[in-house]
Amino acid sequence: MGTGTKCIGQSKMRKSGDILNDSHAEVIARRSFLRYLLYQLQLAATLEKDSIFIPGTHKGLWKLRPDLSFVFFSSHTPCGDGSIIPMLEFEEQPCHPVTISSSAGDSGDLEALEKEGNCDNTDSPVAKKMRRGTPSSLVTNGTAHCDKQEQGLVMPEVSSWNLTAQEPATLTEMPCGIKVVDIHRTGAKCVPGEAKDPGKPGAAYHQVGLLRVKPGRGDRTCSMSCSDKMARWNVLGCQGALLMHFLEDPVYLSAVVIGKCPYSQEAMQRALMGRCQNVSALPRGFRVQELKIQQSDLLFEQSRCAVQAKRLGGPGRFVPCGAAISWSSVPEHPLDVTANGFPQGTTKKGLKSLQARSQISKVELFRSFQKLLGSIAEDTRPDSLRGQKLDTYQDYKEAASAYQEAWSTLRKQAFGSWIKNPPDYHQFK
């Protein structure tokens, strides 16, 4: 499970791998899932207890038990492309839609908008940014109920309007005659090398289908949007490069369920699958997963909308919690609470201590990977981990050749503008 709304800026990134660059809920949940997979592989390798993994057909490799599947639940649509959805004329409009001001510029900068916009507008980009990071969780064999009725109105099917990455999201009317007066916006910015948002008022504000980077407060981040990351997981798997050394096939999600919030089936299908649907020639085992996407009628009780409704007319303004919470089904330190990328309460003096490392930071996940590797006899290890000298985090990632080939193919065919961190940020041991 994960909660969170924040990212650190590029200037605060560290080459030691001990800081969380991206603390959005979806990313925290996935990193918590990596801890769980590492623990389950440890159980399988040491034969201590039952594991979700069983021996594969190749030496040193494991595969997921056939009776298991994983469902990803998020209380809100992922930031980026999956959150660019139509705002219909009968939806509640607390105040006029936010338009670009001269101080905001063509980029639609959220900082300028926040100074001028009305934060009580729940459909404004400012409010969207404030309520974005509600909890996400990965559950085994989960189910959800999809209900498209809200306030006695049957929501029209959104899948009949067609948006592509080559044209702006100019939505004005639904097939059943209901007008689209605006779009729910995302704070994620188009990456360099991609087309830019038109930035026009109303439904022509965004262009859809683009790679986006999460916004920072004055300091640009290097973190891709959650929509982009989830689309990548849907091709490469959720396990990442390190765990692929031990797995016969990637670990894919079978379904994504979104809680009660502004939602478009079309946008979610486009964001998570549509942009990669023509990717081909992937290595054996990799594929564009046929993901089932649904919406639940479950409203997160601590979402901005829900809390605001309870405190209607109350004093003060609503701001997102600065902390991120990770929980993983592991026996040691299952709970991990961070702020600004480090365990909550960490001081500047204590930054170099082991206590200043989140359990889901790159360096700690790498330490767990090395512990798993150390528990396996040399002659029973996978071929990719024998017969070569591997030392750094980067070395082990690059040695997962099938995964790296799949990632290279995905970048060439679909995500050519993806922002990659420089290699020196992965040279820690």
| Residues labelled as active-site residues | 26
Residue 230 host element (H or E) = helix 226-236
Cα gap 123→44, rounded to integer Å: 48
Terminal-residue alpha carbon distance, the chain: 27
Residues in the chain: 429
Dihedral angle computed from the Cα positions of residues 178, 180, 184 and 189, in that order, rounded to the nearest 10 degrees: 150
The β-bridge relationship of strands 292-295 and 255-258 is parallel
Which residues have C-beta within 8 Å of that of residue 221, sequence separation ≥ 6?
Answer: 7, 8, 9, 10, 21, 22, 213, 214, 215
Residue located via tokens 């020196």: 424
SS (H, E, C) 78-108: CCCHHHCEEEECCCCCCCCCCCCCCCCCCCC
Dihedral angle computed from the Cα positions of residues 37, 39, 40 and 42, in that order, rounded to the nearest 10 degrees: 120
The β-bridge relationship of strands 70-74 and 255-258 is parallel
Cα gap 195→192, rounded to integer Å: 8
Q: What is the token pair recorded at 123?
A: 């459909």
CA distances from 349 to 11, 69, 345, 346, 356 (A): 19, 44, 11, 8, 10
Contact indicator for 222, 373 with CB cutoff of 8 Å: no
Contact indicator for 120, 316 with CB cutoff of 8 Å: no
Cα gap 117→232, rounded to integer Å: 34
Cα gap 127→213, rounded to integer Å: 18
Q: What is the token pair recorded at 22?
A: 């991206």
Which residues have C-beta within 8 Å of that of residue 91, sequence separation ≥ 6?
Answer: 123, 262
